[in-house]
Amino acid sequence: MRWSDILERYNKYDDRGFIQEYLKWGERLRKAFNQATELEKIPRRVVFIGVGGSGIVGDIIRDYTYLTNRNIEVYVYKGVTPPRRIVRKSLVIGVSHSGNTIETINTLLKMHEYAPIVAVVTADGKLLEYAERYKWDINIIEPALAPRAGLPQMLGASLKMLNHVFKVDKRITRVAEKLDRLGRKLSIEKRYNEAYRMASFIWGYTPVIYGTAYYIGVLHRIKSSFNENSKVHSYYVVFPEGYHNEVEAYEKYVNQFLPIILRYDGDELDYLIEYFNKEAVRFLTYQMNERDILYRILKTIMFFDLVSIYLAYLRKVDPYVINVINEIKEMRR
């Protein structure tokens, strides 16, 4: 496809400039981290409450905790109330970009009487009102066009609160600068950039993301971005668990599915690739070998978020609107 056609679809289907939200991630991560308040005392256990684009923050921090071997337990609850035995000795962090996520608000209201410390990350809304009323710790973020595009603000504020444990204050600036450079490489002004090229390979297929248990948050985010931005079905499978179930589906392979394998040193996914090559299964790989683990996570997410935006252009859909989600949300009120 000619790049002029992509620009035409960008102007027609993305009149809000939704892609530009993702190209500002470095700047917004840096700003959110610098403006947030670090908590002085942090229990050995942290519980994140949130759903959707806000809920992914807890998933990412849980992944980062495992990968960096921090001396802290991170739990993530989405739409359900954690057991009291966990909450009583925990820092509870509620994350809601809009501040009006009913599942998050209701869960926090059930928990705040027996949680020793409650903190919130939000741009506005009812959650901010409750936080002020009950004197919870508050970190107000700059709003994005949509919660999923506001990940760097929510993550930056959450990492700052937990900086006593993660000690990323000196690293954030470097990570943000690298994200700035990545954004310039993948912008709409860069003809046939890497994110667009991957989107063109995926176009017409159902993306299936494969990775290891250390990156569940990343896998879930990629799947969700294809759902929300590209309006396509997608799912992810965690390995080595997938060696005990998912791989058997390739006995009768249907080529409407396109495996995308997230790779890094020591991932034990060579066996899967060897089988795919032997059976001539079409697949893509993405290398995650950056030494800085925080950058590795954010680069991968930012890259695939932009892939999902370019895939939306190829499919002639607006990556911003989420009509079905909003319709069902109204049904649930």
Domain coordinates in residue numbering, the chain: 3-17+176-314, 23-170
pLDDT(76) > 80: yes
In this predicted model, what pLDDT tens digit does every residue of 212-247 receive, in sequence order?
999 999 999 999 999 999 999 999 999 999 999 999
pLDDT of res. 79: 83
In this predicted model, what pLDDT tens digit does every residue of 303-323 receive, in sequence order?
999 999 999 999 999 999 999
Confidence of residue 50 (pLDDT cuts 50, 70, 90): very high
CATH code: domain 23-170 is: 3.40.50.10490
Tokens of 170: 């000196």
For the chain, percent helix, then strand, then coil, each to nearest 5? 55, 15, 30
Contacts (Cβ under 8 Å, ≥6 apart) of 173: 30
pLDDT(83) > 80: yes
Beta bridge partners of 263: 287
pLDDT of res. 41: 85
pTM: 0.96
In this predicted model, what pLDDT tens digit does every residue of 101-114 receive, in sequence order?
999 999 999 998 89
pLDDT of res. 287: 96
Count of other CB atoms within 10 angstroms of residue 161: 23
In this predicted model, what pLDDT tens digit does every residue of 273-295 receive, in sequence order?
999 999 999 999 999 989 999 99
Give me the helices (H) in 69-205, please.
Answer: 84-87, 102-111, 126-134, 151-161, 163-166, 169-185, 194-202
Give me the helices (H) in 75-147, please.
Answer: 84-87, 102-111, 126-134
On whether the CB atoms of residues 314 and 199 are closer than 8 A, the answer is yes
pLDDT of res. 80: 87
pLDDT(333) > 80: no
- For 304, the enclosing helix (H) or strand (E) is helix 293-314
**Average pLDDT of the chain, as a whole number:** 95
Confidence of residue 199 (pLDDT cuts 50, 70, 90): very high
For the domain made up of 3-17+176-314, give the CATH fold.
Answer: Rossmann fold (3.40.50)
Distance CA 32, CA 298 (A): 15
pLDDT of res. 77: 95
Confirm whether 3-17+176-314 and 23-170 share one CATH topology: yes
